[in-house]
Amino acid sequence: MPTRRAFLQSTLAVIALPAVGLSIVHSAIAARPLRFVIDGGCAVARRLADCAGATLAGDDVAVLIELLNRDEADAWIGLTRDAQRFIFETLARPRGFELRYAGTHDYRTGTLQHRVVGDLALIAPHTQALAAAGANWPTALLDYAALLSRSRTPGDSARITTATLRPPGSADYLTSWCWRRS
Amino acid sequence: MLPPNLTQADFDRAMDELRAVLGREWVIAEDGPRRASYRDPFAPRDVDKSEPTAAVAPANVSEIQQVLTIARQYRLPLWPISTGRNFGYGGPAPRHAGTVVLDLKRMNRIIEVNEKHAYAVVEPGVSYFDLYRYLQARKIKLWMDPAAPGWGGVMGNLVDRGAGYTPYGEHFMAQCGMQVVLADGTIVETAMGATPNAKARHLYKYGHGAWVDGIFTQSNFGIVTQIGIWLMPEPPGYRPYLVTFPHEDDIHQITEVLRPLKLGMLVPNAATTVGLIWEAAVKVSRAQYYDGKGPLPDSARKRLASDLNIGNWNFYAALYGPEAIMNNNWKVIEESFRQVNGAKFYFEADRGGDPAFAYRAQLMRGIPNMTEYSLLNWVGAGSHVDFSPISPVTGDGALKQFHIMRDLCHRHGFDYIGEFLVGWRDMHHILMLVFERNDEERKRAVRELFEALVNEAAQAGYGEYRTHLDYMDAIAETYHWNERALYRSFEMMKDALDPQGILAPGKSGIWAGRSHHKRS
């Protein structure tokens, strides 16, 4: 089983969209290419990109559009603020992508509350990781990316309350998601 | 939901005929993500009310004509969109369920860019990003004028009379020449384009006889398939700046100072006077400053302003031209704004790392971006609908309008998130009503607020310049002088140009079949 860094060292490039705050990490693992979209405008999400050893490759949303048009990735997994999620969704839907998993990660009440929607039985390891990982919770997206891409929405939802405080520089409301070609 | 008065069998036949013309891929009638992409995701009410029955995407004018033939035969209502991404006003959705969206995205050619005469000719599917990349790739020394989200359509925004931020910010003023397909399939070239081999098609706006281009904006009289748009020659110098002002009521003096600067063209671009929260919300969220209900209290506003080094008003504009001219103009501008107590002045170097300054500086020099979308993160999972009355460029007018809008927002439990976009003789007062997308109570509250805004603005004599799908009839009703003479004229034109009412029924409150001409 490759380490997380090795997993993502198949990274080709990261496309950071500073104006929008999206970083895109390519991963060509196995026969199921996945892409990660990470919000460069949020410290928590940026640390995930650092963890991946990602490098900058471009800076406008037109690059994202091009990738979606010509890309063969089965699924895109993201950790972004909600407006950035909406941008991705708007580009993905007309290209035939369906939402497979959705999560919200909300620090606004003081401590972190997760809410996930999807096939809860399938993504149980991911949900458990969110609960147990504390401040490192975003890594659950990387660790369980394959599961998330096989999930389905609309599905059941689950709430997980933690004692994790918002790190400095982090957005207080984040979304995680997986869109997959139908 | 089927189109009105159409049986399922007839609808199925229509779809089959459309597939034969366009190809199966470009007739989207089945449930699924592609058809769902034509909904209004920000709808402040039940999104099903404007769920399209189907969407079709022709590739060229000939296919549009064939689609129209089928639409006339079956009385299929069509809702043309270009990129359909202005979500504050309804996005790609039609006014009513049962309409077929006519998606013009496949018509995405940049037909011409003429550097000598500084214009471009584009089709409906060309976005600001597309045109910008075209100009950059060819090192063409022309600037375009994008609206704030760069994925919007150059033509779509223009024919809805949207605005940008450079000296060419009044988009419709920069339009020159238009190609339109009428409901009966006739292709019309307007103005100078109506002469064969026209040499000045995109150089002189008016041609001979009645100038009709305007009637194809914010209307449903025809399908615009090409426009000419003037572009700005790259100036020898560009210097964006920000002036902040500490007090809300400073808007009075700011506007009085600004008017002669605009009239004298010392402030040549479509400058913006941005309210505190609009300025802050691309950087921080509401929850970071206040976790209660209702508008942000004064104490939180003060902390916000202090933390981010911004004002209750934040005026963005730019200098353009040779250094000597920019320096000279700046002296006058700075001296003028110094009359406002507490004014502070910033150039680009003073605001390093400030995403709000950065995106404004990009927009004022014609670089499209998407940063303004981050405003919706103000409330976590935000949507917005915009209310946009026109204000005179007077201190009294701006202050009165600001008080009306702010007080109504607060009374309904919303923050005032607004800016004044300064045009040639007017200000577009853009009020962004940001609400939590998944909260039905907040959606109900924003609907009530919007209705209150429409009524108060109309009573005070302020008309809206543009509005969301849901409010088009309500806004149309405010233009009722002389027993609705203007709208009665629109209805006569509609019945003459589209007697079956197949094009964009209800766009801007214009409906077919209402003129006495039609009724008789």
**Mean pLDDT, residues B201-218:** 97
β-strands B78-81, B100-103 pairing: parallel
Is B282 touching A (CB cutoff 8 A)? no
How many Å apart are CA B31 and CA B54, to the nearest integer? 9
Whether residue B204 is predicted with pLDDT greater than 90 in this model: the reply is: yes
Q: Are B406 and B360 in contact (CB under 8 A)?
A: no
Q: Is residue B474 in a domain? A: no
Residues B15 and B76 in one domain: yes
Whether residue B142 is predicted with pLDDT greater than 80 in this model: the reply is: yes
What distance separates the 2 farthest-apart alpha carbons in chain B?
71
What's the N-to-C CA distance of chain B in angstroms?
A: 31
CB-based contacts of B329, cutoff 8 Å, min separation 6: B266, B319, B321
The minimum CA-CA distance between B24 and chain A, rounded to whole Å, is 15
Q: What is the pLDDT of chain B when averaged over all its residues?
A: 95
Catalytic-role residue among B462, B465, B471, B487: B465
Q: Is residue B3 in a domain? A: no
Residues B277 and B326 in one domain: yes
Residues B229 and B268 in one domain: no
Residues B514 and B497 in one domain: yes
**Mean pLDDT, residues B24-52:** 89
Residues B446 and B325 in one domain: yes
Q: Which residues of A touch B374 (CB under 8 A)?
A: 20-21, 41, 81, 83-84
Whether residue A11 is predicted with pLDDT greater than 60 in this model: the reply is: no
Residues B509 and B410 in one domain: no
What distance separates the 2 farthest-apart alpha carbons in chain A?
42
Q: Are A75 and A32 in contact (CB under 8 A)?
A: yes
For B129, which of A61, A82, A171 is closest by C-beta distance?
A: A61
Q: Which residues of A touch B370 (CB under 8 A)?
A: 17, 19-20, 61, 87
For A93, which of B36, B129, B374 is closest by C-beta distance?
A: B36
Q: Give the 3-state secondary structure of B324-386.
A: HHHHHHHHHHHHHHCCCCCCEEEEHHHHCCCHHHHHHHHHHCCCCECHHHHHHHHHCCEEEEE
E strands, B276-359, where?
313-320, 344-347
Size (chain B), residues: 520
Q: Do B370 and A98 touch (CB under 8 A)?
A: no
Mutate to test the interface with B, among A172, A175, A178 (most CBs of B within 10 A): A172
Residues B289 and B411 in one domain: yes
Whether residue A14 is predicted with pLDDT greater than 80 in this model: the reply is: no
pLDDT at A15: 40
pLDDT at A56: 45
Residues B446 and B505 in one domain: no
- Angle ∠(B509,B511,B515) on CA atoms, nearest 5: 120
With CA atoms as reference, the chain A residue closest to B91 would be A90
Q: Do A173 and B285 touch (CB under 8 A)?
A: yes
Is A20 touching B (CB cutoff 8 A)? yes
Tell me whether residue B89 is one of the annotated catalytic residues: yes
At B224, which CATH number?
A: 3.30.465.10
Task: Write the pLDDT tens digit of every residue in A59-86.
Answer: 456 677 777 877 777 788 888 899 989 9
Q: Do B285 and A172 touch (CB under 8 A)?
A: yes
Q: Do B382 and A41 touch (CB under 8 A)?
A: no
Is A154 touching B (CB cutoff 8 A)? no
Q: Which residues of A touch B150 (CB under 8 A)?
A: 60-61
Tell me whether residue B204 is one of the annotated catalytic residues: no
Residues B304 and B434 in one domain: yes
- Domain ranges, residue B341: 238-469
At B332, which CATH number?
A: 3.40.462.10
Domain count, chain B: 4
My answer on whether omega of the bond before B149 falls inside 30° of 0, hence cis, is: no
Q: Do B371 and A19 touch (CB under 8 A)?
A: yes
How many Å apart are CA B369 and CA B354, to the nearest integer? 15
User: Which of B450, B469, B488 finishes a domain?
Assistant: B469
Residues B319 and B455 in one domain: yes
**Mean pLDDT, residues B370-397:** 93
Task: Write the pLDDT tens digit of every residue in B68-111.
Answer: 999 999 999 999 999 999 998 999 999 989 999 999 999 999 99
Residues B453 and B407 in one domain: yes
Q: Which of helix, strand or coil describes residue B307?
A: helix
| Per-residue pLDDT band at A20 (split at 50, 70, 90) | very low
Q: Do B37 and A175 touch (CB under 8 A)?
A: no
